């Protein structure tokens, strides 16, 4: 199958209006504001206004980009919607908040018992996973994530596929021993836009709510520093993978470089989080500021009602559907304690194998190296409903 890279995805290719709006709520120096065709308000801000001393670091060495190449992707923002040189795109915080982020999936045994839809249990707020994880000292990692637009039973639910760098037992002065994470991937959550989006999330406080320099999605809370002028967290996509047809994916990798967690995505250094977010008044080596002790790749679905959700994960197909019909994460790697790239191989598990599953192909010997198929149709077993 011919695997296509992500081209002409951005919804904002239609006309948009430049508007005069109040100063960005984060105090950023806004040079230009446009409203995209999907209603997203996008500020073009001076890049250096995101940091207190107005001094930004140089990007990591080009050699650390590995096989990713910016040349594979054309600019997705039309010229008339772009800001001047030295500015970067940052979405305005929305009126509707992002969903509550749950803890990352644990390392389960290979087989779990199916959850009964007739048990009478209330599943409101439950999150369901199909996951693989590796416990080792990591200073980065990621992979290529497929792009499907999954069926959602209700707009109040979300479906995502992502990678996460995790410090399972970070010792902090403020919150005690907690889980800290860096997360990035693809998600569909209609209250924040009509199409799936590229997202990032950071958690320095054990998932104890969101707040500036504590935890948050994309640029909704302070923490993320946007560096690239073409790709940004919260960016929506138009063309998705089609079951049995064209397949689309994009790369995401975290790299810990010079006390910053950089994110390489779409072949570009999109932005970074300062590692000090995770340290604060704690001992650096005891937190995610120094390294992670686990890397994970997983699909996640939220359950908004009492009954088991029928929301799809990925394409909605189980992994057994195979090539071209199921969601995947390919070319999975991690960076070890010395920053050297290693092919990924880990343990896997699921919350409920009757609805969502994962199948691993580690060290496959193919151009995808280590990869997984993951997904499922939710309760009832019907893809797309």
Residue located via tokens 């065709």:
37
Number of C-beta neighbours around residue 99 at 10 A? 18
Joined tokens for residue 299: 């699909």
d(CA 267, CA 65): 7
Would you say residue 288 has pLDDT above 50? yes
Share of the chain above pLDDT 70, in %: 84
Are 160 and 145 within 8 A, CB to CB? no
Q: Which fold has domain 123-376?
A: Jelly Rolls (2.60.120)
Across 78-95, b (16+ Cβ under 10 Å) vs e yields eeebbbeeebbbbbbbbe
Joined tokens for residue 308: 């088991």
Looking at residue 380, its pLDDT comes to 94
Angle at alpha carbon of residue 117, lines to 114 and 123, rounded to 5°: 95
Residue range 235-248, pLDDT digits in tens: 987 778 999 999 99
Average pLDDT over the chain reads 87
Would you say residue 65 has pLDDT above 60? no
d(CA 147, CA 215): 25
Residue located via tokens 């990035």:
184
Are 227 and 59 within 8 A, CB to CB? yes
Domain segments of the chain as ranges: 24-54, 123-376
d(CA 127, CA 141): 24
Residue range 291-347, pLDDT digits in tens: 999 999 999 999 999 999 999 999 999 999 999 999 999 999 999 999 999 999 999
Across 214-227, b (16+ Cβ under 10 Å) vs e yields bbbbbbbbbbbbbb
Number of C-beta neighbours around residue 62 at 10 A? 7
d(CA 10, CA 266): 13
Residue range 95-143, pLDDT digits in tens: 556 676 666 776 543 444 456 555 679 999 999 999 999 999 999 999 9
Angle at alpha carbon of residue 358, lines to 356 and 363, rounded to 5°: 170
The size of the chain, in residues, is 385
pTM for the model stands at 0.89
d(CA 91, CA 114): 40
Report residue 241: phi and psi, to 5°. -65, 150
Joined tokens for residue 69: 């190449």
Class of residue 190 by CB neighbours under 10 A (exposed 0-12, middle 13-18, buried 19+) = middle
* pLDDT interval class at 213 (50, 70, 90): very high
């Amino acid at each position: 199958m011919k695997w296509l890279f992500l081209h002409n995805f951005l919804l904002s290719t239609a006309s948009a209006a430049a508007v005069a709006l109040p100063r960005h709520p984060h105090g950023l120096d806004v040079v230009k504001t446009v409203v995209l065709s999907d209603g997203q308000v996008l500020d073009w801000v001076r890049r250096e206004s995101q940091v207190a001393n107005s001094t930004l670091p140089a990007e990591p060495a080009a050699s650390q980009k590995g096989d990713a190449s910016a040349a594979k992707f054309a600019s997705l923002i039309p010229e008339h919607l772009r800001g001047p040189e030295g500015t970067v795109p940052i979405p305005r915080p929305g009126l509707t908040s992002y969903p509550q982020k749950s803890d990352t999936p644990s390392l389960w045994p290979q087989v779990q018992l199916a959850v009964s839809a007739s048990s009478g249990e209330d599943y409101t707020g439950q999150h369901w996973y199909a996951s693989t994880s590796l416990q080792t000292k990591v200073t980065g990692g990621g992979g290529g994530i497929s792009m499907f637009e999954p069926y959602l039973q209700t707009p109040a639910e979300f479906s995502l596929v992502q990678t996460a760098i995790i410090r399972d037992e970070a010792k902090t002065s403020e919150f005690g021993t907690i889980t800290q994470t860096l997360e990035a991937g693809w998600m569909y959550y209609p209250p924040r836009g009509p199409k799936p989006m590229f997202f990032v999330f950071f958690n320095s406080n054990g998932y104890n709510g969101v707040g500036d320099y504590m935890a948050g999605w994309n640029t909704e809370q302070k923490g993320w520093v946007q560096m690239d002028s073409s790709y940004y967290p919260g960016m929506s996509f138009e063309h998705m993978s089609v079951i049995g047809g064209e397949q689309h994916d994009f790369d995401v990798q975290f790299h810990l470089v010079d006390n910053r967690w950089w994110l390489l995505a779409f072949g570009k250094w999109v932005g970074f989080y300062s590692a000090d977010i995770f340290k604060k008044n704690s001992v650096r080596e005891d937190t995610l500021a120094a390294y992670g002790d686990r890397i994970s790749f997983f699909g996640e679905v939220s359950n908004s009602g009492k009954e088991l959700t029928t929301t799809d994960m990925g394409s909605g197909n189980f992994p057994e559907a195979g090539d071209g019909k199921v969601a995947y994460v390919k070319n999975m790697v991690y960076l070890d304690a010395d920053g050297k790239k290693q092919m990924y191989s880990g343990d896997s598990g699921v919350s409920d194998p009757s609805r969502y599953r994962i199948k691993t192909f580690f060290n496959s010997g193919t151009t995808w190296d280590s990869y997984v198929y993951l997904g499922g149709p939710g309760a009832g077993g019907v893809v797309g409903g």
